[in-house]
Amino acid sequence: MASIYWNKGEKAPKEQAVSLLMEEMPEYTDSRFWVRFESDDTSNHLTAIIESEHNATTPEFKLKRAFPPKFMGHRLIVKSVPPDYIDAIILAKERDDA
């Protein structure tokens, strides 16, 4: 039954969905954030990555408002990561000593 909900409707182009969610992220959080597409065992999905000292499943993790389950037709996942994760991992340039 879940696939009936998630597969319904048109999906915006991935680049457009990422760009628009990046613009809207300050409405959801005051923390550092990044948006990108990722995939899991079911499909590709839009991921809102938020730096926080608290895990997204704990009461200490605060958002200004709740995220929708879908954004521009794409499934939306919220991921909390430790402070400095975005610079150190997501935006890091490839190391030449690896």
Residue 4 pLDDT exceeds 70: no
> CA–CA distance from 15 to each of 6, 11, 46 (Å)?
19, 11, 10
Quick: pLDDT tens for 8-39.
Answer: 788 999 999 999 999 999 999 999 999 999 99
- State the amino acid at position 90 in one-letter form: I
The domains of the chain are located at: 2-90
Q: Do 35 and 22 touch, CB atoms closer than 8 A?
A: yes
**What does pTM read for this prediction?**
0.84
Residue 95 has pLDDT above 80, yes or no: no
Say which DSSP state 4 is in: H
Q: Give the right CATH number for 2-90 from 3.30.70, 1.10.260, 3.40.50, 2.40.50.
A: 3.30.70
pLDDT at 3: 59
Q: What is the pLDDT of residues 51-86, one digit of tens each?
A: 999 888 888 889 999 999 999 999 999 999 999 999
Q: What are phi and psi of 19, to 5 degrees?
A: -60, -45
User: How far is 69 from 26, CA to CA, in rounded Å?
Assistant: 18
